[in-house]
Amino acid sequence: MLELRLVQGSLLKKVLESIKDLVNDANFDCSATGFSLQAMDSSHVALVSLLLRSEGFEHYRCDKNFSMGMNLGNMSKMLKCAGNDDIITIKGDDGGDTITFMFESPSQDKIADFEMKLMDIDSEHLGIPEAEYHAIVRMPSAEFARICKDLSSIGDTVIISVTKEGVKFSTKGDIGTANIVCRQNTTVDKPEEATIIEMQEPVSLTFALRYMNSFTKASPLSNTVTISLSSELPVVVEYKIAEMGYIRYYLAPKIED
């Protein structure tokens, strides 16, 4: 049986908003480590990996490892019924065909429970090898979201290049071209406003902007985003979820044949 209680229920609402447009159905894996998910989009170009560690919950009980298949659109509909300040409790059973979401208002004067039907999902799990990345860029998540949004009004793909000059985001389309360069900047008032570039060697990769834009839906979860790049490898776009874990997106590059 699984029973978890999350005081900061808004966090789970934000998690759903950041994955539901990328993946329709997914298996949530429950174990003593935490509540996790790995799922690919239908074209197998992007993958989302979520971990909410058990220590991050006020109460976490999972007697046995098991998976629960959920339609993320339906789960999002249910979680939208929780208030932003609500405490969310999730209950499920191994082999059960439903999951229960309980929403408690902070003053305990309103308690709601929603039962959602589970589904059997034949999902493909991918083994993600440990990789040494040529360049790791950490920047404000709002800045990255702004860049992706701006570039997608000009073109469909983004070339991300890291050199010792900084990180460059470029696109081109029918109306013209665009280049945005962000330099390392650590002289900021708050650490989360810094742009930090760790480069082992220069790297340049091409990606579909549509997916990058979808990843930026996770921006409300974290002030910063980390983009890890290696030649001929999928990019990793990571948003840390404070005290709890992370949401990582992997996106396969476009490569000249």
Partner 1 sequence: DPTQKTLTNFFIRG
Cβ proximity to partner 1, 57 vs 215, nearer residue:
215
Residue 132 binds partner 1, judged by CB under 8 A: no
Cβ proximity to partner 1, 95 vs 129, nearer residue:
129
Smallest gap from Cβ 2 to partner 1, in A, equals 25
Pairwise CA distance, residues 103 & 115, whole Å: 11
Q: Which two tokens stand for residue 170?
A: 């470029």
Pairwise CA distance, residues 223 & 193, whole Å: 8
Cβ proximity to partner 1, 103 vs 250, nearer residue:
250
Smallest gap from Cβ 25 to partner 1, in A, equals 17
Q: Which residues inside 197-216 make contact with partner 1, applying CB under 8 A?
A: 206, 208
Q: Could you tell me if 215 and 236 are in contact, meaning their C-beta atoms sit under 8 angstroms apart?
A: no
Residue 6 binds partner 1, judged by CB under 8 A: no
The type of residue at 99 is I
Residue 256 binds partner 1, judged by CB under 8 A: yes
Choosing from 16, 22, 23, 40, the residue that interacts with partner 1 (CB under 8 A) is 40
Q: CB 164: neighbour CB atoms within 10 A?
A: 8
Choosing from 30, 45, 68, 247, the residue that interacts with partner 1 (CB under 8 A) is 45
Of the ranges 16-24, 125-133, 212-220, 238-246, which one interacts with partner 1 (CB under 8 A)?
A: 125-133
Pairwise CA distance, residues 211 & 226, whole Å: 16
Choosing from 109, 129, 130, 189, the residue that interacts with partner 1 (CB under 8 A) is 129
Pairwise CA distance, residues 197 & 219, whole Å: 19
Smallest gap from Cβ 33 to partner 1, in A, equals 20
Residue length of the chain: 257
Residue 122 binds partner 1, judged by CB under 8 A: no
Residue 36 binds partner 1, judged by CB under 8 A: no
Smallest gap from Cβ 228 to partner 1, in A, equals 13
- Long-range contact list for 213-217, CB < 8 A, 24+ apart? 213/148, 213/149, 213/152, 214/21, 214/22, 214/46, 215/18, 215/22, 215/46, 215/148, 215/249, 215/251, 216/141, 216/144, 216/145, 216/148, 216/149, 217/17, 217/18, 217/19, 217/21
Smallest gap from Cβ 36 to partner 1, in A, equals 17
Q: Could you tell me if 180 and 151 are in contact, meaning their C-beta atoms sit under 8 angstroms apart?
A: yes
Residue ranges that bind partner 1, judged by CB under 8 A:
40, 43-47, 124-129, 157, 206, 208, 233-234, 250, 252-257
